[in-house]
């Protein structure tokens, strides 16, 4: 049975594309993106899915209460047999009910070294704070914003001449790399969680 992944996005979808490319290139053996869901019908990520013949669906969130919306999304993910949910620029908080529906099976990518700079415009927050290093984080999703045990991080130095755009671009390249690494770890099952710590286990011979 392939590992069926569901991707939730709201926009550009470059992290989705990175995962899809990793699967196509054999970097995530046994993985398959079973379904892409966007809450916005104008999300460019939907076009990227269509180009790759990956099933995609729009479930508009406008006007719906959080749980009512999440119920619709959960139903579609379950119908598609999804076992792992990857958030990829999905601009909505998940309800505790959603989180409980896929226990420790929801991943998110964030463009800062968490716990620094959670929330929106993390790259701008980092620049304005004046940190010399920022980066990105893949973490398991819990009920709180940009929290949850950390699976992977990558450091990106901040240059004196960086703009929001230049820093974001260098961070994004690292996002694409570590998201695949984190999905590979989760799908391998070769880890254990102690408190907040995700500890990779050595591969058994």
- Say whether residue 36 binds ligand GRF (CB under 6 A): no
Nearest to 22 by CA among 167, 165, 168, 187: 187
Nearest to 7 by CA among 66, 76, 104: 76
Please tell me which residue in 3, 110, 139, 176 is annotated as part of the active site.
110
Residues 53-112, interacting with ligand GRF (CB under 6 A): 88-89, 109-111
Among 5, 6, 7, 15, binds ligand GRF (CB under 6 A): 15
Q: How far is the CB of 120 from ligand GRF (least distance, A)?
A: 9
* Residue 32 CB neighbours (<10 A): 16
Residue 119, token pair as written in the block: 């929330």
Query: Among this protein's residues, is 110 annotated catalytic?
Result: yes
Q: Please, which residue, 131 or 190, has the CB nearer to ligand GRF? A: 131
Q: Please, which residue, 18 or 34, has the CB nearer to ligand GRF? A: 18
- What does each C-alpha distance from 92 to 8, 38, 88, 152, 184 come to in angstroms? 10, 11, 11, 22, 25
- Say whether residue 14 binds ligand GRF (CB under 6 A): yes
Binding part of the chain for ligand GRF, among 11-19, 61-69, 99-107, 151-159 by CB under 6 A, reads 11-19
> What is the C-alpha to C-alpha distance for residues 197 and 66, in angstroms, rounded to an integer?
29
Q: Please, which residue, 178 or 198, has the CB nearer to ligand GRF? A: 178
Residue 27, token pair as written in the block: 């970097």
* H-run or E-run covering 123: helix 122-129
Catalytic residue set: 110
Q: Which residues bind ligand GRF (CB under 6 A)?
A: 9, 11-15, 45, 88-89, 109-111, 172, 175
């Amino acid at each position: 049975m392939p590992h069926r992944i569901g991707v939730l996005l709201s926009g550009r979808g470059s992290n989705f594309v990175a995962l899809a490319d990793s699967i196509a290139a054999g970097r995530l053996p046994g993985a398959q993106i079973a379904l892409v869901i966007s809450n916005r019908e104008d999300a460019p990520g939907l076009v990227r899915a269509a180009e790759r013949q990956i099933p995609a669906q729009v479930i508009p969130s406008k006007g719906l209460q959080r749980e009512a919306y999440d119920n619709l999304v959960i139903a579609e993910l379950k119908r598609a047999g999804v076992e792992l949910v990857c958030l990829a620029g999905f601009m909505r908080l998940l309800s505790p009910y959603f989180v409980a529906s896929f226990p420790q099976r929801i991943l998110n990518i964030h463009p800062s070294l968490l716990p620094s700079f959670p929330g929106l415009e993390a790259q701008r927050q980092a620049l304005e704070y004046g940190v010399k290093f920022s980066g990105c984080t893949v973490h398991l999703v819990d009920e709180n914003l940009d929290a949850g045990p950390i699976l992977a991080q990558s450091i990106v130095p901040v240059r004196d001449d960086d703009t929001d755009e230049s820093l974001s671009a260098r961070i994004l390249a690292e996002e694409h790399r570590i998201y695949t690494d984190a999905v590979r770890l989760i799908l391998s099952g070769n880890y254990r969680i102690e408190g907040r710590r995700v500890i990779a286990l050595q591969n058994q011979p």
